[in-house]
């Protein structure tokens, strides 16, 4: 058996998340079905991170094992010919057997997009979260700085999260307004279930003026999910991608193109 890594792009709308779940339509199940046809044997794929229903990806990374003799483009073309147009392989590379898409990732990054105007935009449905109340992006950005570094993020952790520890390290966090859009870019060593969406929902409470900037530090210190803001919609969340040690020679996460900032 040889091991391969692959980059996957998808629009999460219409899928019940990444992980295969019985007869439900999931991204993992669709990929495994299509790639098994290309390989002519059953394949199992492992992802860098499991995304929720409605979450999109610019470069999810998977690995799989196969003894099928296929070149890299045959994997890409064959798979893409057998999946919905909302799901696509962008590249395939051979990797050493010790490579693991989830365990060998050294960083993961996300972008969250809020469309901030009073009327919803028909062309942005399921691509950005619509927030009709005016948001103070400067206050949100100031409040977010306390989250940088290594912390116990229990206050931003979903009750069904199965991670063995709530401690994570946020390495970069930027929040800015671009016209009608408020965009959060965030990167860390790993993320808890719903962590990014819960951070956005909490910062949104500051953005609309319901809470002061200092409140986010209090939420973080409380280590209590009930103290934080609501979970923001999945529609605005994009998994930009994971990064790996240079020895594997894999493409870095792409520069997000939406919105154009």
- Mean pLDDT, residues 33-42: 98
Give the pLDDT band of residue 261 (cuts 50, 70, 90): low
What is the pLDDT at residue 260? 77
Mean pLDDT of the chain: 97
Q: Identify the H or E element spanning 183.
A: strand 181-188
* Alpha-carbon torsion (152, 155, 157, 160), positive or negative: positive
Same-domain pairing of 61 and 82: yes
- Mean pLDDT, residues 216-233: 98
Complete DSSP assignment for 194-218: THHHHHHHHHHHHHTTSS-TTHHHH
Indicate the DSSP class of residue 225.
G
Task: Name the binding residues for substrate.
Answer: 110
What range defines the domain where residue 93 resides? 2-104
What is the pLDDT at residue 14? 94
Q: Per the residue annotation, which of 40, 52, 138, 224 is the catalytic one?
A: 52
Same-domain pairing of 119 and 231: yes
Give catalytic status of residue 52 as yes or no.
yes
pLDDT tens digit string along 124-144? 999 999 999 999 999 999 999
What is the pLDDT at residue 21? 87
Residue 261 within any structural domain of the chain: no
Give the pLDDT band of residue 16 (cuts 50, 70, 90): very high
Give the pLDDT band of residue 181 (cuts 50, 70, 90): very high
Residue 249 within any structural domain of the chain: no
pLDDT tens digit string along 58-111? 999 999 999 999 999 999 999 999 999 999 999 999 999 999 999 999 999 999
CATH number of domain containing 20: 3.30.70.580
- Mean pLDDT, residues 230-259: 96
Same-domain pairing of 83 and 124: no
Q: What are phi and psi of 3, to 5 degrees?
A: -110, 140
């Amino acid at each position: 058996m040889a091991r391969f890594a692959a980059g996957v792009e998808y629009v999460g709308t219409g899928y019940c998340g990444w992980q295969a779940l019985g007869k439900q339509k999931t991204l993992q199940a669709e990929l495994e079905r299509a790639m098994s046809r290309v390989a002519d044997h059953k394949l199992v794929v492992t992802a860098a991170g499991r995304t929720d229903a409605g979450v999109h990806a610019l470069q999810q990374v998977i690995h799989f094992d196969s003894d099928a003799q296929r070149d890299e483009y045959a994997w890409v073309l064959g798979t893409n010919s057998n999946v919905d147009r909302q799901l696509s392989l962008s590249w395939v590379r051979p990797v050493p057997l010790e490579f693991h898409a989830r365990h060998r990732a050294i960083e993961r990054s996300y972008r969250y997009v809020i469309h901030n105007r009073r009327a919803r935009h028909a062309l942005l449905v399921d691509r950005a979260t619509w927030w009709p109340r005016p948001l103070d992006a400067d206050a949100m950005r100031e409040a977010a700085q306390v989250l940088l570094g290594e912390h116990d993020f229990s206050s931003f952790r979903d009750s069904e999260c199965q991670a063995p520890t709530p401690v994570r390290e946020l390495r970069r966090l930027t929040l800015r307004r671009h016209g009608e859009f408020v965009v959060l870019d965030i990167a860390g060593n790993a993320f808890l279930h719903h962590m990014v969406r819960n951070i956005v929902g909490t910062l949104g409470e500051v953005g609309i003026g319901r809470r002061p900037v200092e409140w986010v530090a209090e939420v973080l210190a409380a280590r209590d999910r009930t103290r934080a803001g609501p979970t923001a919609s999945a529609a605005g969340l994009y998994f930009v991608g994971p990064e790996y040690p240079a020895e594997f020679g894999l493409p870095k996460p792409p520069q997000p193109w939406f919105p154009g900032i």
